[in-house]
Each structure stands twice: as C-alpha cells, then as structure tokens.
Amino acid sequence: MQIHCKRSFCVAVLLWPILCIFSVSTFAQNSRPNVIIILTDDQGYGDMACHGNPIIKTPNLDKLYTESTRFTNFHVSPTCAPTRAALMTGRYANRTGVWHTIGGRSLLRKDEKTIANIFSENNYSTAIFGKWHLGDNYPYRPEDRGFQETLVHGAGGIGQVPDFFDNDYYDDTYLYSGKPKKYKGYCTDVWFEEAMNYIENQKNQPFFCYISTNAPHSPFYVDDTYSDLYRGFPNVPSKEFYGMITNFDDNIGLLMNKLEDLKITDNTILIFITDNGSAMGEHKSKKINPYNAGMRGKKNSEYDGGHRVPFFIRWKNGNIEAGRDISQISSHIDVLPTLIDLCNLEDKDQTLYDGKSLVPLLNNESHQWSDRILITDSQRLQHPIKWRKSAVMSDKFRLVNGIELYNIIEDPSQQNDIAEQHQEIVKQYKEVYEDWWGDVSERFDEYAGIIVGSKFENPVHITSHDWHSESQVPWHQRHVRAGIQENGFWVLDVEEPGEYEITLSRWPLHLQHPISSGKIERLAITGTSVEESKRGKVLAITKAKIKFGKQYLDKKVGEDDFKVSFKIKLKSGEGQRFQSWFEGEQINMGAYYIKILKE
C-alpha cells in the first residue's frame, strides 16, 4: 500500500516517469493544451442534478458531466483555504502552513511553489478570477505566486474585513492586478465575463485560467429570479443557495459556448471541482432533509459529506473518455502532478509532491496503479491538534478521528462503526496517520510573516482577519460594525530598516470615518436577497497604543479622528510581533485596520 508523505515520495518519483511515458506521449499534441480549473465555494457533491439532486437545476454542469471523466471518490480538505493550498501546490495543506481560514493561518508559505509558477515557467499565460484566500499581502498575493493577470476579492469571501468595505456581490470593487477597480454586475457574472475576455485575448497561445468563485458561499445573495426557482419546494435548505448554484451553472454554459465559438474546446483541459462538502449538506431543522448524495456530514466535517466532492475532467484531444467514472481514491493533491503529466510540463525545482499523477487511471492502466491511503483533516485552530476532525482514507475504509472505522463501500453513509471488529485495520491506519503527522507537522511552530518595507508593497494594509489569537478573530465586516472587542498580534518580516509610519483605524481609511462613531447601514438591493446591514456601533475610544517588538507608543484619540499615526524606527528581521490597541471606558480592543508605510 502506498502512503503519500514526503518520506515515501522518493520511491514514487522514480516510478512516475516510467509509468507515464505512454500516457503523456499519447496525450501530448502539436499544440499544448489550454487549462481551465473551475472551483466553486461550499457547493457539495449532491448540489447538482447529475449527482441525483431531484430539485436543483444545473443543466450545464449536467452536460459537462456527460462529456467528462468523473472521479467519484475524490477528496479535498473540509474547508476552503486548506483545499486551495493543496490544489495550488500538490502538497498536503498542513505541510504548507494553511490549516485555517483566518487568524494568519491561511497564508501559503512563501517558499511553496504553486501551479501558476509552474505553468508560467513553461511559457503559459496565467490568470485567476474570483477567490484566492491564501494571503492578501506580499508575498502571499496571487500576483506574487505566479499569476500574471489577477482579479480577486479580498480574504475568503466578499464582505470579509480585507475586502472592499460594503461590497455586496453587486457592482463591487475588486482588486485587479492589486489595485482597486469597480465592476458592474453580479460577482459570479463578473468573474466569468472577465475570464472569458482573458481567454479570448489568449486564444492563440497556451493559457492556464483559474476561475474560483465565492458563490455559493454565504452570505446568500442572488437575484430573486434565481432564488424564486426554488420557492415552495420541500427539502430545499436555502432557495438562495440553490439559486446561486443555478446562476453559476448559467455561467458554465456561457463559458463552454465561448470555447466553442473560439474553436478551442477540443484542446482545452476543463476541470470542475468544489472546495469542500456542501455548506447545506445537513440542516438544523429536522423538517428539512437536503439532498447530500447519501453522505454523512457537511462542510467542515471529517465524514465524507465534508470532503468528498465532484471532480470532472474533459479534454477531447487528450483522449480523455467522456461519460466514464473512476472509483479509485484521489484528491486535490493529485491535480498538479496530473497536469504536469498531461501538459508535459517541467518543474525546474523538482518539487516533492504528496499527490501523484492520475494519468494511469485516465488511460485505463489500473495495473500501474497501487492502492493508497490519503488523509484529510479540519483544524481551524492557531495550532493543530493531532487526530482533530481527521479521516484516514482508502478505496474501502475510513478511519475517522482515530477511533471510528467504516467500510465506505458497504456503508457509504457511515452509520456502522466496525472498529471493534477490525482492530488490525485500525492499527494499520493509525500507524499511517502517525507517520503522516510526524512528517507534515515539522514546521507547525512557524508563522508566515507579512513583509513590510518592500518595494513590492508599500504601504502595507493589514487587518484583523490575520490576527494570531486564541479568541475570536474579527474576520467579517459585520464584526467591524458590531465593534467586537478582541485582540491579537500580527507577525511581520521587516525587509528594510528605517523610519516607518504606522496608522491605526477602526474603519477603512478611505471612508475617513471617525474611530469612535458608528456607521450607517449598507442598503438592501431591490430584486435580490441583499438585506440592509446593521448600523455600526458607537465606541467611545480615547486612546491608541502599539507594540512593535519591545517598543511601546501611545496617543490620545480625538472625537473626530478617523486615524491615529505613529512614527517608529524598525530594524530589519523576520518574525517580529506587532500589536495594536484602542482603549476607552470599558473598551479594550485591537484596531481592525492598519497601514504601515516605509518612509
């Protein structure tokens, strides 16, 4: 049985070139293929008609399903940023430093090489449209990680603290090549429209296009014309959630038509995947039983409903068979090694991947495929805990949390724990996990520092989203409005010594809104599910403080001040801790927004 961790990789890497010579030479054409990866957020395996959902309308996904090879035992991480880290690197997310979605633990370590780096090195044009969620500052932004054209929202979703304030999915301001730019229309429509413009401009040269939608992640904002399709149906967990998926499906149809119009369909590898199990895979009301393809669990779960997701791959020129299912276990860490083989790419650094190429399975060469054990988990903590919300997985078994054992073939809903009857399997899988944990945990004590004083980003804007804290992290703009009183520290790498100006604010600086005052509501939008926001809370803040290393500075805050700035001398060095405070009567909290300028 092949265990995919760094220690066993050395054997596998010697075998792959031998195993894949025939496959790659078969797939490789005179013209290198284009590659499009489409990743949705919080859509699960059961949230499409082609997987048996009797209510949802997804005709274009259903069409893609019939035209693709489908991996039916494909797994990701149970939440979004870890899945993105593994997809981008071909390595387990915990190994890359990404095991949470907030708290500074969603930053992809700067020494990790991404799929965009590799495609760029092989003379592909590269672009991302939508959600990145692996860092909002240098050197973690998509433009720092191999993407040549970037259009993204901030953090892990529209409306989170690093995102442009009061974005509401409609006519929003996003970051194009790192600069704010306003777009007209609904977010998913914008991502696809801009991606299709990019594809048309690049049609005569190979491109790698990553379309990563924030939909159908909450908040569930969509036109009423979509949500009304599901009004009155029983067992619909959210008509808006389903409506967002149908809007996405319409955009899939537009994209496939565009590829046809440009006559590049046949030589484009098109991959569809989702980032975790359905956010609506289970419902708090016993009266509603959402379709979840018979699986137990939903997003963030260690059971299959939390991490088993669709994986469709279509490429006519590569002889990838339409309408075929592959049941061998596979995962997000396999995507990059597979594309390296399919596109005949060179990885100059010879990265040690945890995943393996799926080409033998695509080529019906199962005799060249050995049994394997894969592992997924959901940490969502500052410091990972062994066995927490974990699944050790093979084609046949799931060891959950190191305790429960399920025969997934006979018991796909994971209701019958057979651990007591099969202690030898439990022991074997626990040994695999122990080896994996010892391998991926080697750098758990490290922090991913945000670089300040660099020519690549100056000033640097950081937010409470990336606080390191054991308490609640204010990661969403609703927390800013509510005036949540929490605190944490940032880890900064000072690249250049010298004079710096550090500016604190409660609200984004461009609003010039007084620190102590509340803020008016964001308005509802007629004809959509966008609701009016709550009014911002008034906080009588009278003092601001900062601590950088061993340096403390403080200042008074006036009633009308919208910012407080400090001058400070900093020495160069990595891993420096920085913290801020706003204080007043019964107030002790951190500043949600910080600007750091190297003068």
User: What's the distance, CA 195 to chain centroid?
Assistant: 18
Please give the model's pTM, rounded to 2 decimal places: 0.94
Under DSSP, is residue 177 helix (H, G, I), strand (E, B) or coil? coil
Tokens of 134: 């692996």
- In a 3-state reduction of DSSP, which class is residue 17? helix
For 412-422, write each residue's pLDDT tens digit: 999 999 999 99
Look up the CATH architecture of domain 2-377.
3-Layer(aba) Sandwich (3.40)
Helices 187-201 and 239-261 pack at an angle, to 10 degrees, of: 10
**Do residues 587 and 501 make contact, with C-beta atoms less than 8 angstroms apart?**
no
Share of the chain above pLDDT 70, in %: 95
18 band by pLDDT with thresholds 50, 70 and 90 = very low
Q: What is the mean pLDDT of residues 243-265?
A: 98
pLDDT at position 497 is: 98
- Every domain of the chain with CATH number 3.40.720.10 lies at 2-377
Q: Which residue spans within 477-524 are E strands per DSSP? A: 489-494, 498-505
Backbone angles phi, psi at 364, to 5 degrees: 60, 35
What is the CATH architecture of 450-598? Sandwich (2.60)
pLDDT at 4 over 90: no
Confidence of residue 218 (pLDDT cuts 50, 70, 90): very high
Residue 410's Cβ-count burial label (10 Å; 0-12, 13-18, 19+) is exposed
Q: Is a pLDDT exceeding 70 seen at residue 30?
A: no
Mean pLDDT computed over 322-330: 98
State residue 443's pLDDT score. Answer: 97
- With beta carbons less than 8 A apart as the criterion, state whether 372 and 109 touch: no
Q: pLDDT by residue (tens digit) across 340-396?
A: 999 999 999 999 999 999 999 999 998 889 999 999 999 999 999 999 999 999 999
Q: Among residues 581, 532, 536, 577, which one has the least CA distance to residue 556?
A: 581
Query: What pLDDT does 26 receive?
Result: 39
**What pLDDT, on a 0 to 100 scale, did the predictor assign at position 364?**
93
Give the closest residue to 106 by CA, choosing from 574, 493, 473, 547.
Answer: 473
- Residue with token string 């758990």: 444
Residue 519 has a pLDDT of 86
